[in-house]
Amino acid sequence: MRSLLLACIAALSLAGCEKSTETSITRTTANGVDTLYSKRTVVDGVARFECIASRSGQCHYLLLDPSCNPDAACAKPPLRSFAVAMGATQQFKDLPTGFRQCVSDVQKEQCHRD
């Protein structure tokens, strides 16, 4: 009985260590040179945005409601609009699960193209 109890405790402790992780990478190049290289990681509800490279020196982000599609117009305004300098990161912990994003080397008012 004692062995069963220890096995259950060990299994529960391992389950508690598992983290929810999501990663998204956006990368564009021209003539073999990165024009935009961005990495977004969401771990246990904390979203971290990293601007690795950008020809403008900044990665510009628009964060959208989960119901919005970055490729189409959306009636809801962006959740956040911000820029991250190349080599820097920014993080938020108050974003809704399933939020959408678009990232560019220039500031945009909307994600989709007309």
pLDDT tens, N- to C-terminus, the chain (114 residues): 455 444 445 554 555 555 778 999 999 999 999 999 999 999 999 999 999 999 999 999 999 999 998 888 888 999 999 999 999 999 999 899 999 999 999 998 888 754
Beta carbons of 100 and 69 less than 8 angstroms apart: yes
Listed in sequence order, the residues at least 6 apart from 114 whose beta carbon sits closer than 8 Å to its beta carbon are none
pTM: 0.79
Letter string b/e over residues 31-58, b meaning 16 or more CB atoms within 10 A of that residue's CB = eeebebbbbbbbeeeebebbbbbbeeeb
